Amino acid sequence: MTSGESVVLDRHATVRQALEDVESFTTVGVIDCGQSAPLLPLQTSPSDHPRIRRALDTALTPQRVAALEPVLRQRARDLAAPLAARGGGDVASSVARWLPVHALVELLGLPSDDAGRLRDLHDRVLGPGAADRDGVAAAGPEIESYFSEVVAARRGQSGTDLVRALSTPEDRALALSDDEVASVCYLLLLAGIDPVATAIGAAAAHLAVAPHHQAVVDSARDLRRYVEELLRWSAPVVALPRRCVSDAEVGGVTVPAGAALECRVAAANRDPAAFEAPDDFRPGRRERHLAFGAGPHHCAGVHLARLQVALAIEELVRALPGFRPDPAHETPDPARLAAGDPVVVVAGGGRPPQVGAPTG
């Protein structure tokens, strides 16, 4: 194996090892999303990462996310309302596409009218338009300018949004610079939308083909378990890229410095060595999945992502109890969806009772 080769990891143990070993496998310089500087905290060096990540984790707490639940529930309800009025429709374009954008708007305390602009900027970098590298290069400065203006306007102000919490925290030792806060916002725009949208679409597709699972909305505990298994089983994040910094051994194989790594999270979450009957849908598993990554770069927005998926499920079932696939459209495979793939459903005859412990 030479330094120019690409290495694919698809076993749970090896993927976890690579994601946890940030000294050997770096994210720095791996992802080009139009940014002019490293995206924080993802692309920081191992020496500086703990400072940035501690500031973010201290600000993006479960309590801060929980405080957003009422407004995000109303957003999810409003997005699902047209589906109820029409007796069905495409969940992907109505709910899944927009709820993550509104969640970012609320988290950062941005004007609600900016949701469309943020969705457009995101899509120019990571959507179908991403094939146009000139377009991505043009979108990058727009994103940086947008968030720089937001951060500059908030500096020194008190408030409950994440921007103020990062720039003017209670513990001043955790304060980030304006450029650092803007970079964190840039990363949240890129990393916090498509995976959540994919998970919401997958949930809708799965609950349509297996409507007995819609009963999970009756129990907070069952809903949490359902969401966690959905994240493992449906693969909202397929793979995470890394680059080998120095020769390292993974799973008994030496990976040379300079080699590119593709850490296939989706495959690792179906690894029979880590999960019993991995292709079965079994809420309540005890094994730890890798849908949010692992190690120091483990997703900082896990609480917000879980909340959005849970709220989307609750409001979809409320709007269209017993919903099923629309027979006029192809039924999507919930385990192979990508962000934006249509999930067209129709109202059912009321939610059927849950029976036994179904695996599908």
Residue 232 lies in a domain: yes
What is the mean pLDDT of the segment spanning 252-274? 96
State percent of the chain over pLDDT 90. Answer: 88
Alpha carbons 360 and 197: distance in angstroms, whole number: 21
Q: What is the pLDDT of residue 155?
A: 87
Q: pLDDT, tens digit, for every residue of 75-86?
A: 999 999 999 999
Tell me the CB-side half-sphere exposure of residue 247, using CA atoms within 13 A: 5
CATH number of domain containing 319: 1.10.630.10
Q: How many CB atoms lie within 10 A of CB 302?
A: 16
Q: Is residue 210 part of a domain?
A: yes
In the chain, the number of structural domains is 1
> What's the pLDDT score for residue 354?
52
**Cα dihedral sign, 208-211-213-218:** positive
128-181 pLDDT, tens digit per residue, is 777 788 889 999 999 999 999 999 999 888 789 999 999 999 899 999 999 999
Range of the domain at 91: 31-237+289-346
Question: What percent of the chain stands above pLDDT 70?
Answer: 96
For residue 3, pLDDT over 60 is answered with no
Q: Is residue 281 part of a domain?
A: no
Question: Which pLDDT score is estimated for 357?
Answer: 42
Give the mean pLDDT of the chain: 94
CA distance 345 to 320: 9
As a whole number, mean pLDDT of residues 94-119 equals 98
User: Is residue 122 one of the residues assigned to a domain?
Assistant: yes
pLDDT tens sequence across 40-58: 999 999 999 999 999 999 9
Query: Can you tell me the mean pLDDT for 248-264?
Result: 94
pLDDT on residue 355: 41
Amino acid of residue 325: P
DSSP classification of residue 213:
G
Query: Is residue 248, in this structure, part of any structural domain at all?
Result: no
- Is 160 inside any structural domain? yes
Residues 6+ apart with CB under 8 A from 112: 102, 105
Query: Residue 114 pLDDT > 60, yes or no?
Result: yes
Residue 8, domain member (yes or no): no
pLDDT for the residue numbered 134: 87
Q: Is residue 249 part of a domain?
A: no
Other Cβ atoms within 10 Å of 260 Cβ, number:
16
Lowest mean pLDDT among 30-39, 59-68, 302-311, 349-358: 349-358
| Total-model pTM | 0.95
pLDDT value, residue 61 = 96
